[in-house]
Amino acid sequence: MLKFLMTVLFASSMLLGCDGERSEEPAETTAPAAVAIPADTFLTSRPTDAQDLLAVKNTAAIGDDVTFLARVGGRVKPFVESQAIFVAADPSLKSCEIISDDDHCTVPWDYCCEDGQLLREGMATIRIVDAEGRPIRMNANGAGGLEPAKYIVVRGTVSDRNDEGLFIVDASGIWVGGKPTFKEPRKGSM
């Protein structure tokens, strides 16, 4: 065992120069290209043909092109941390800032006061995908103005759905509006 240890130590010292640094040139590494959501994903004008999410969700099939109005939210953390995926809720669902103006809720976009079944029926998962159809590997929060509680209009293709509430749309375009208030629940949707 001692002989083996001495051999390892000797071999290690041969790789180092007199000053304790490696005498070999370090291998050149390249940093991975920065991943970003393409700017043209975000629309500068609101599509006029948008129906509310529920109206579209109730009739759309996998592969259909859809355009709908929704709000970012439905969970405490609506954005997936490492991928451009987020959840959105139908505008008919009531978030806390629409129910009351007393500012009683610190996370109004989680729809904690809404009926669970209605929330499940009125939600969609939005994915921003690359050319291969894989979600872009970055958090979409803040991109193009996206943030919890804001109105959005999504154009995209239904990539999956089921009768239990699953509705996944791969977005080709997203218009980002503003946030509603108690007195103006549709504020930010136009």
Backbone angles phi, psi at 5, to 5 degrees: -60, -40
The chain-wide mean pLDDT, for the chain, equals 86
Q: How far apart are CA 114 and CA 111, in angstroms?
A: 5
pLDDT at residue 34 tops 90: no
The dotted CATH code for 41-176 is 2.40.50.200
Backbone angles phi, psi at 18, to 5 degrees: -60, -30
What pLDDT sits at residue 32? 52
What share of residues in the chain are helix, strand, coil (percent, to 5)? 20, 25, 55
What pLDDT sits at residue 36? 92
pLDDT at residue 21 tops 60: no
What pLDDT sits at residue 7? 40
Who wins on pLDDT, 25 or 53? Answer: 53
Q: Rounded to two decimals, what is the model's pTM?
A: 0.81
